[in-house]
A and B are shown apart, each in its own frame.
Chain A
């Protein structure tokens, strides 16, 4: 029952994307990721003096898979910009917290780069390639009302996919794959509208 609830709460596509990005962080960027309950902080990147040494990312354990994906891309953008060196701890907080706003400038630069990485980067930290180049999807998720409507429709389609038992008929089809990836992208941008244009 618990597994089923989890399945309904977080799509397999989102979870596998999250795992893929986490693996990329760990293996290619030397960032160990772990989870911990936080209050107003969403993630902490603790870095050493030199980039070659291991880094640690602690992510709020209540962050959804979509939010975790955003945090991974955003933190990777900070690292690409060198904001974490030497010995700089990057604290990601919930939006709008005044005591977390003092590095607004560097966060702004990281947001820009994160957006580019998510939409342009193939593999690595990029969005699922099947939908990444879709101008229609990108347009729909760029505005809050259409993003919200699209998210609702894709969730409804997902529910129908399982409830109406059409899973077997569509499983493996390109349409189902595209819709799964579109739901993943929409969920991530809904959790982090900063990633939209």
Chain B
């Protein structure tokens, strides 16, 4: 996938990871997505450093969405504020995909998030959101 705003994406990954090592992030994303994202350390390193405009390891909108949900879950695990998690998650999705699919997801996010006031509920929403995007 082509990355639209590499610098913003880099900042979002760094914020959601909250200082975690890239190795840990890669492992967590792998676990959370049931191994369905072939995101290796080198690729994440390039993305997280804002050094690439193309992420070949993430080659479909569905994979972007899985990464988006997984990184937001990491943000929940890092006890970040709900607003920060949401803002950075949006930045990730917007950096990767545009068009109808992202619009649908954003629209759902806009409607749903004001109703989810605490991090635990947000996390449930994210975990289930991720689950429905896992390959069957």
Contacts and interface: CB of A to CB of B under 8 A. Distances in A.
* A and B co-occur in one complex: yes
Interface of A: 36-41, 44, 46-49, 53-56, 58, 86-89, 91, 93, 99-100, 102-103
Contact of A88 (B111, B125, B128): B111
B50 interface: no
A183 to B, nearest CB: 32
B117 A99 contact: yes
A41 B49 CA distance: 38
Contacts of B121: 38-39, 41, 44
B21 interface: no
A56 B131 contact: yes
B104 A58 contact: no
B112 A91 contact: yes
- 4 A-B pairs with the lowest CB-CB distances in the bound complex, closest first: A46-B128, A56-B128, A48-B132, A89-B112
Interface string B86-117: 00000000000000000011011001101111
B116 to A, nearest CB: 7
B110 to A, nearest CB: 11
Given A38-B121, A39-B117, A58-B124, A89 B111 contact: yes
A93 B108 contact: no
Interface of B, helix, strand, loop or mixed by DSSP:
helix
Contacts of B133: 48
Contacts of A103: 111
B132 A39 contact: no
Interface residues of B, number: 21
Contact of B132 (A36, A56, A91, A102): A56
Interface in B61-80: none
B73 to A, nearest CB: 14
Given A46-B129, A87-B105, A41 B115 contact: yes
A89 B104 contact: no
B42 interface: no
Given A39-B120, A48-B133, A49-B104, A91 B128 contact: no
B55 to A, nearest CB: 22
A56 B115 CA distance: 18
A89 B132 contact: no
Given A41-B115, A48-B132, 14 more contacts: A38-B124, A39-B117, A39-B120, A40-B117, A41-B116, A41-B121, A46-B128, A53-B132, A54-B136, A55-B132, A87-B107, A89-B125, A89-B129, A102-B114
A88 B115 contact: no
Contacts of A37: 120
26 contacts: A36-B120, A38-B121, A39-B117, A39-B118, A39-B121, A41-B121, A44-B124, A44-B128, A46-B131, A46-B132, A48-B132, A49-B104, A54-B136, A55-B132, A56-B131, A87-B104, A87-B105, A87-B107, A88-B108, A89-B125, A91-B115, A93-B115, A99-B114, A99-B115, A100-B115, A102-B114
